[in-house]
Chains A and B, each alone.
Chain A
Amino acid sequence: NSKVIQTPRYLVKGQGQKAKMRCIPEKGHPVVFWYQQNKNNEFKFLINFQNQEVLQQIDMTEKRFSAECPSNSPCSLEIQSSEAGDSALYLCASSLWGVAETLYFGSGTRLTVL
């Protein structure tokens, strides 16, 4: 069973507001992924980290999101200025070696932007 913890479970924001969500990866897992799942069940990769370093991110993340994985603190993903199209389930996953082995997902943060 996954021990990836995501908070908050639900988040409601107005357009233009910041939206911040957090993820505690499984203990000992240095690799962390963030995915966005929209209402059509489509997954979009956002960013991944190894320890505190960003490995990959998409343009949208680089331009509109702030993300970090500090040592000894939860990882975080923050939308700087929420848009209606950001409403989605944000899933965090961790693993020991990246995607070459099983990823363990948290329960997600469901963001609604009004």
Chain B
Amino acid sequence: GQQVQQSPASLVLQEGENAELQCNFSTSLNSMQWFYQRPGGSLVSLFYNPSGTKHSGRLTSTTVIKERRSSLHISSSQTTDSGTYLCALVNNAGAKLTFGGGTRLTVRP
């Protein structure tokens, strides 16, 4: 089965609303990264967060290893936040990232 599962698959918000994106993984974790993919392709690194909570502006990432989950919280969403959010993990067995299926976020004005 899939090692990394993201939910929801898609999400529509009104500007100003908050969003909570989830990433669940079935294997042991070595590192966890969150990326934002713009429409058109380029991936932007948001967080490298193997455990605990990290903040960056309106974004907060929390990884709880023993529960095998990581979340990305977006507060006060803006239309420019629209795009796909991807989590990716590295487990102890490998040296490459395994990506989740992504959450496609649309923020309406």
| A contact residues vs B (CB 8 Å cutoff) | 1-2, 33, 35, 37, 40-43, 45, 48, 55-56, 89, 91, 93, 98-108, 110
Contacts of A56 in B (CB 8 A): 94-96
- Does the CB pair B30–A108 fall under 8 Å? no
Contacts of B40 in A (CB 8 A): 107
Known pairs A35-B97, A45-B98, A98-B95 / 10 extra A-B pairs, C-beta < 8 Å: A2-B45, A33-B96, A56-B94, A99-B96, A99-B97, A102-B45, A105-B42, A105-B43, A106-B42, A108-B42
Min CB distance A99 to B, Å, is 4
Total A-B pairs in contact (CB under 8 Å)? 66
| B contact residues vs A (CB 8 Å cutoff) | 30-31, 33, 35, 40-45, 48, 84, 86, 88, 90, 94-99, 101-102
Contacts of B35 in A (CB 8 A): 105
A5 to B86, CA, bound (A): 21
Min CB distance A51 to B, Å, is 15
Contacts of A104 in B (CB 8 A): 45
**Contact for B95 among A2, A42, A43, A48, CB less than 8 A:** A48
